[in-house]
Copies of this chain bind each other. A is one copy, B any other.
């Protein structure tokens, strides 16, 4: 199959697989969630288990009335109960993606991380994967972590690289991702312990820990994404100027990259949590409608592969 280079190819790819994912939604009570659910049903990419809180079932009921073959409703007492029940649907294998509706991310994550009834992979770390489509680059750009891990340790970088290369392959269908380990300079030094972690990650990659990858760094964002900058600096690597994946040095850089890409770069960004048994979609109010829909589509594609 052709690799995927943009977000709008995701729904079509999902349909071509001939399987439908079931998504459990905690607290579907706002118009944004309603829009994403409805669009996903209409574009034939998912069915839904809507876990709705008593007194706030209007959206869920409307969706059930209009799409009775694609929607199931589960009643919940309050937000925390809804989070527990939505997570339980995943835990029991009845849903393959979890999605946040009108509930605080913290409340949802408490249920996700619960030791007995949660869905964190044992011994795993929770991390966020972002997928950017930009007018400047002719392929999707994956990056992590922009939202969960403040200042990754070596173990956390190791988890990030494992999840993001795996997710990249599942979603784009490209076998060998080009991974840039980003940092403000090209130097490895004790002053920046994260660069020492990067050295270890490169050694791990050479031992095929992450499967087939091209990996290089430290290098800055411009060197990773712009061939000319790399040439000027005299750095030669298949990754330079052609990165598919950017590993961000910390959450401040990751968040800044995310926000600057959307605001100044005209990018559309999808995102999901990884480290859980299934992808978790945690969009925020400030995300665009497209961004929310493509996040769900990307999560569904990841769930199917």
Residues in A lying within 8 Å of B, measured CB to CB: 134, 136, 146-147, 150, 182-184, 191-192, 220-222, 225-226, 229, 232-233, 248-257, 259-265, 267, 285-286
Contacts and interface: CB of A to CB of B under 8 A. Distances in A.
Contacts of A259: 220-222
Copies of the chain in the assembly:
2
B233 A286 contact: yes
A131 to B, nearest CB: 15
Contacts of A182: 256
Contact of A264 (B192, B252, B256, B264): B264
Contacts of A225: 263-264
Nearest to A184: B255
A251 B286 contact: no
Contacts of A264: 134, 136, 225, 260-261, 264-265, 267
A256 to B, nearest CB: 4
Contact of A256 (B192, B226, B257, B262): B257
A6 to B, nearest CB: 16
A255 B218 CA distance: 13
B255 A252 contact: no
A263 B183 contact: no
Contact of A285 (B222, B226, B233, B250): B233
Nearest to A251: B184
B285 A232 contact: yes
Given A248-B256, A264-B267, 20 more contacts: A136-B263, A146-B184, A147-B184, A221-B255, A221-B256, A221-B263, A225-B263, A225-B264, A226-B263, A229-B286, A232-B286, A233-B286, A249-B252, A250-B250, A250-B253, A253-B255, A253-B256, A260-B264, A260-B265, A264-B265
A46 B292 CA distance: 52
Contacts of A233: 285-286
